[in-house]
Structure 1
């Protein structure tokens, strides 16, 4: 999802959005990190808050429809939003979106099309050897047959859950959690290995545990059902962005957007593409206050935290070759440094490992020194590979949850939210429109969800501006 939850082989996520941005009309004005490019055009004016994938996608859609008087306000010093590369240990790694998920199906993922057009480096993620790379908490590998047995049992549970999910009302009114589905089948993970496999199946994908995650909107997962089961990791060295908006005033006559540096911008419409995590804070003040139904819908959704921790070593000590890209650490403490990835193919000779944590562990780690996180990682690795392995020379710990401009990594559809609330999240309020991966009905949390959400929200605005169809219909909530 919008780790934007994209997992697989290296492409350059930032390159995708830069290429998309370059297709915008020359009349688009960008204000990002103090740099301003100017343009002007006749017709209605639109301010887009945020230069992430959704904001840029919406801008291109508006521009292509003839609405070219656009101003994009970006709070960071770059475009890209949660698609962010940084240099670590001499290579460019992605702190946010890193995978194209949903490839090689009957329908082509639009992000995959963009990646191929740009000829980005892509590596299919190889999970096939996982059963041979599951480590016990106190050292030693599990027998592969034991791990395969646990995985097979989970597959059966998932298959039954999928059938149950498809039989539920489309509105989501009878939805249950993934954990409840497991309980109905008398299959609640209890052993360290079962919890590790459960984490790989759910938390590693959705950044939150099965007890809070909606069954109906994740099993089966639309991304894989629609676009294919394969996932590709992005490792292109070109990469996959302060104007902080603090107030949005809106009325029948137009909108006024005020930023932290005291600047004031006026337009006919505003399109807000910040994360739902930011919408749940007081960073942006809306005047008048958003209606209660809108606020309630926003707060019912979850902003999850997905943390990719990179470690650099002087030499390799982990298995390499086919079937060794991913390995699991099965701790009695669920979610404690569980999923590891080595980059023999993606970053040859870099000697870098990636470990992923989520949710409560992510928040805990963000609040402690990197030195403590490194020490915890080294203890886990020494449990797996022995006491004589070399010490990590560097560590990179992203802090998306602590960053006031993001407040997390991507949205997760929790139990209790159905499609009625989802329509409310996306619905415009007068001249204020909303977009972002969290407004994508089927692909929330993914890069392709952000891209398609930008197009959808722009088209809602276009219908109003061009056709006078400004009333947004929200289907009645089904019982």
Structure 2
């Protein structure tokens, strides 16, 4: 018997041990976390008749990483901002809620003019024709990577990094080294996955299921109600809300920081930081994989080794959207100017910019996105230091313009926040269906959900939404149909 087969057998037997438990009438379920996945799971459970719920949310609001805040007189998004994957063969389940049901203000993001808007390190733009050639070559390599990816064994045993694929295609064999190639590579991969090509799985992102399934278009949500309105709408389907849409249902309890989850054959006990104790038949844990990797929540008994390993194998990436406000505009506007790049000799240094002529007229606000190591570095310094660095970069980009000092800045600190420990998951090299099955698999009466448990759409809002439904269905099968076995096939089966 191979090690992977043995692991699969142990997991099957562990879960099958609970299959003989009779499902009590009207089981009580605790949901840990009121982000998209937790709220989605609660909705699915309620639709199945499981309404004896309590949702424990660590913060003072629902929505999790979908969260608006006021900045310079407008509401902007701290986390998720786009509906990604629209106008394709399938319908992204988030799109009709945003565009038709709630009618949130949204704008199609147009990246076609990018070759016109790549700024040199010390000012001026790159020649459009040359920049477009480099973009076209990068696209060609990615297309070849997609063909290679389709031939790899589904287990992930032949997986490789995106960087390795680039080398196989004689593209930037030592990695991108020129400022132009670095920012184009960063825009294509880091800006999407929040980690560099050298650590990102080819097999899981090329081609990317979100765009293959739902379409290539992305829409930026810029509504003063916030993108979180989607979560409030879903919550309002089963939780009591007032006329303003605020959830007033006592089953939702905010500012409840879960610190301990005890589980046995007879049920679960959840303890919060304020020394409250909650008992139930099942618990659904919807925290981020970053939180699962931390010591915020203690499981008693400890989770089995196969579960711990599956949690630790995934990456929790950091994607930081920094909003900066100025007393006046000094940047180009107009068609094809919404996105522009800064080609620094330092990879990922304030590289991807967005202006809001359409979304937030007259707000004089720019957005610059950083990721990974730059995100962590910036989180450790003062906002004033970050503001100074940004103004220096902009003065280098626009040497002939009168670039004033910024009046305000918003720097989210997802990595430092103990309730998130990052922004979204990224699948490392070689991690595939087997590890995903283990990550999503319940441990006795403890169930798991979150964007990281979405096999094809991790990291996306629709992935979080669909993951909540999928995990709830697993719990429903056990609680109502006595189908408690969750079989994880061996990695190479």
TM-score, normalised to structure 2, is 0.88
Q: CA deviation at 1:42?
A: 6.6
How far 1:416 sits from its partner (Å)? 2.8
- 1:388 equivalent among 402, 406, 409: 402
Match of 2:262 in 1: 249
Give 3-state SS (helix, strand or coil) of 2:56's partner: strand
The answer for the alignment partner of 2:202 in structure 1 is: 215
- The alignment partner of 2:462 has SS state of helix
1:324 aligns with 2:308: no
| Matched ranges for 1:273-292 at <5 A | 273-292=286-305
Aligned to 1:235: 222
Residue correspondence of structure 1 range 338-357 to structure 2 within 5 A = 338-357=351-370
Name the CA distance, whole Å, in 2 between partners of 1:155 and 1:306.
Answer: 23
Partner of 1:14: none
Q: What's the secondary structure of 1:226's corresponding residue?
A: helix
Cα distance in 2 for residues equivalent to 1:61 and 1:418: 26
Aligned to 1:183: 167
State how 1:106-121 maps to structure 2 within 5 Å: 106-116=89-99, 117-121=101-105
Which structure 2 residues correspond to residues 451-462 of structure 1 after superposition, within 5 A?
Answer: 451-462=465-476
User: Residues of 1 paired with 2:113 and 2:306: CA distance?
Assistant: 48
Give deviations 1:377-432, integer Å, cap 9, x for gaps: 01110011126311111000000000000000000011131211111000000000
Report whether the alignment pairs 1:128 with 2:109.
no
Which residue pairs with 1:156 in the alignment? Answer: 140
Distance in 1, Cα, partners of 2:41 & 2:295: 24
Of stretches 227-236 and 383-392 in structure 1, the one that deviates more from structure 2 is: 383-392
For the residue of structure 2 that corresponds to 1:48, the secondary structure is strand
Matched, 1:68 2:55: no
Q: CA RMSD in A?
A: 1.1
Counterpart for residue 470 of structure 1: 484
1:439-454 equivalent positions in 2, closer than 5 A? 439-454=453-468
Partner-residue secondary structure (3-state), 2:202: coil
Residues 367-378 of structure 1 correspond to what in structure 2 (within 5 A)? 367-378=380-391
The one of 192, 198, 206 equivalent to 2:193 is: 206
Question: Quick one: distance in 2 between partners of 1:471 and 1:276?
Answer: 23
State the match for 1:47 in structure 2.
30
> Is 1:336 the counterpart of 2:349 in the alignment?
yes
Following superposition, the deviation at residue 220 of structure 1 comes to 0.2
- Counterparts of 1:73 and 1:242 in 2: how far apart (Å)? 8
Count of aligned pairs between the two proteins? 439
Alpha-carbon distance between aligned partners in 2 of 1:172 and 1:442, rounded to the nearest angstrom? 14
Whole-Å Cα distance in 2 between the matches of residues 342 and 243 of structure 1? 38
> How far apart, in 1, do the equivalents of 2:143 and 2:202 lie?
12
**2:30/2:53 contact within 8 Å kept:** yes
**Cα deviation 1:39-79 (Å, max 9, x = unaligned):** xx971000000000000000000000011101000000000
- TM score, norm. by length of structure 1: 0.91
* Equivalent residue, structure 2, for 1:13: none
Does structure 1 conserve the Cα–Cα contact (< 8 Å) formed by 2:158 and 2:430?
A: no
* Structure 2 Cα separation of the partners of residues 106 and 322 of structure 1: 28
| Counterpart position of 2:87 | 104
Structure 1 stretches (4+) deviating beyond 2 angstroms? Answer: none
Other structure's SS at 2:204 match: coil
Match of 1:267 in 2: 280
Work out the CA distance in 2 between the residues paired with 1:42 and 1:414: 41
Q: Please give the alpha-carbon distance, in whole angstroms, between the structure 2 residues aligned to 1:293 and 1:87.
A: 43
**Quick one: which of 414, 417, 420 aligns to 1:403?**
417
**Equivalent position SS for 2:203:** coil
